Amino acid sequence: MPKVIFSQEKQEISVPEGTTIRDAAKLLNISGIKGVNLLAACAKCLACRGLSSHGACRVIVTEGHGENTNSLTLWEKMCFMSPFPNPVMGLSYLENPEQTRLACECKITGDITVDTNPDLNLFGENFFS
Ligand code: FES
């Protein structure tokens, strides 16, 4: 079974192939949504419970992205490349486009390492350049 390491929480778990990062995090009682901004705070209150409707469960897959996950879903592309439903998603995708995923859409097919609740760096190299 694939192993998922949640680096910030220093926890890991083995899950059946095809499990989403969100479901793996739930098994360890790790919250995928923290109020880093007003929209995320609202999203936490109005959490979609994995229905992929608010787009606030973004994570960074630091190791194993691509080879050990499914490819970006249509919904992820919509969230990351348009200002709806949450403009912060698009900004965060610009910061790290190769590794940003929605926890509820990203299926695990091999060993991965995940950073939950990544900070948004509006002054990083990819912004305003
Ligand atoms: S849990 Fe709502 S978009 Fe992922």
Nearest CA to ligand 1 atom 1: 50
- Cα separation, 80 vs 72, in Å, equals 10
Closest ligand 1 atom, CA of 57? Answer: 4
- Distance from the alpha carbon of residue 50 to the mean position of ligand 1, in angstroms: 5
Among the listed residues 118, 97, 114, the one whose alpha carbon sits nearest the alpha carbon of residue 19: 114
Q: Is the CB of 48 under 6 A from ligand 1?
A: yes
Q: For the whole model, what pTM was predicted?
A: 0.81
Among the listed residues 108, 118, 41, the one whose alpha carbon sits nearest the alpha carbon of residue 97: 118
Tens digit of each residue's pLDDT, the chain (129 residues):
999 999 989 999 999 999 999 999 989 988 765 544 455 555 555 566 666 666 678 899 999 998 999 999 988 888 888 877 677 777 777 777 888 898 999 999 999 999 988 777 666 665 555
Give all domains of the chain, ordered by start, each with its CATH number: 3-116 (3.10.20.30)
CA-CA distances (angstroms) from residue 34 to 2, 63, 102, 109, 125?
26, 22, 14, 26, 24
- Distance from the alpha carbon of residue 52 to the mean position of ligand 1, in angstroms: 4
